[in-house]
Amino acid sequence: MAKIIGLTGGIATGKSTVAGFFKDANIPVIETDQIAKSVLAKGSDVFQRVVEHFGDAILLSEGTINRKALGEIIFQDEDARAWLNAQVHPEVRSIARTQADLLKKEGHALIVVDVPLLFEAKFDKDVDETLVISVPKEIQLERLMTRDHISKAYAMKKIQSQMPLKEKRKKATYVIDNRGSILHTKKQFNEILSTIQGA
């Protein structure tokens, strides 16, 4: 029986960084961020609904969705965010399930799915165990502002739109504290991977 690990955390806490460690260990990672992008690709059903709902103003000149503009709308407006999530999440979930089934058939014993809103979207029901990547809020804020070149106010809005990390840690099977060096995070990862694999 394959085991599915749900990898989550807060925005910019280090999920993709840890996803990279899994990939380095030849463990497949399903990236729901990538799936969400494909679900919103020009011409898709969700794309049509989103353009109808938000108008042409969220399109770039080449006719694809301006993700930055869409982000600015949904992080200021809770109803808009809930509406968009209701369009995107079921599709993403269904594609992620199909990908997981395929990987299971290929014989992978361990499959990781990186889902930023794992608990918020109740996606944790689809996985066997959960791994939360956590950092203190000040570090999260700083890394998010630096990586995305955004203001403190906007970064705070993004962080506050998510379930507090403290709650996510409580729900988690495993927690990695990513406040320190990458090496320190890798050490925690190695220990958890041994536990997950029952070694």
Contact segment (CB under 6 A) with ligand ATP among 5-13, 22-30, 41-49, 123-131 equals 5-13
Q: How far is CA 8 from CA 15, 41, 50, in A?
A: 6, 24, 26
Q: Which residue type does 46 have?
A: V
Q: Which residue type does 120 have?
A: E
Rule CB under 6 A: is residue 32 a binding residue for ligand ATP? Answer: no
Rule CB under 6 A: is residue 16 a binding residue for ligand ATP? Answer: yes
The upper half-sphere exposure of residue 191, i.e. CA atoms within 13 Å in the direction of its Cβ, equals 9
Sheet harboring 174-177: ordered strands across?
29-31, 110-114, 3-9, 129-134, 174-177
Q: Per-residue contact track with ligand ATP, 96 to 135, x per CB under 6 A? A: --------------------x-------------------
Give me the sign of the Cα torsion angle 49, 55, 59, 61.
positive
- Per CB under 5 A, the list member of 4, 15, 123, 162 interacting with Mg ion is 15
Q: Which residues contact 37 (CB under 8 A, 6 or more apart)?
A: 67
Pair 64, 148: CB distance under 8 Å: no
Q: Which does 109 bind (CB under 5 to 8 A by kind): Mg ion, ligand ATP, none?
A: none
| Closest to ligand ATP by CB, 111 or 144 | 144
- Per CB under 6 A, the list member of 6, 7, 9, 117 interacting with ligand ATP is 9
Q: Which residues within the stretch 132-161 sit at the binding site for ligand ATP (CB under 6 A)?
A: 143, 147
Rule CB under 6 A: is residue 182 a binding residue for ligand ATP? Answer: yes
- Per CB under 6 A, the list member of 6, 7, 13, 35 interacting with ligand ATP is 13
| Closest to ligand ATP by CB, 95 or 145 | 145
Pair 141, 18: CB distance under 8 Å: no
- Per CB under 6 A, the list member of 5, 6, 14, 65 interacting with ligand ATP is 14
- Per CB under 6 A, the list member of 178, 189, 192, 196 interacting with ligand ATP is 178
Q: How far is CA 107 from CA 96, 103, 104, in A?
A: 17, 7, 5
How many CB atoms are located within 10 Å of the residue 70 CB? 18
Both tokens assigned to 105: 């058939």
**Residue ranges binding ligand ATP (CB under 6 A):** 9, 11-17, 33, 116, 143, 147, 178, 181-182, 185
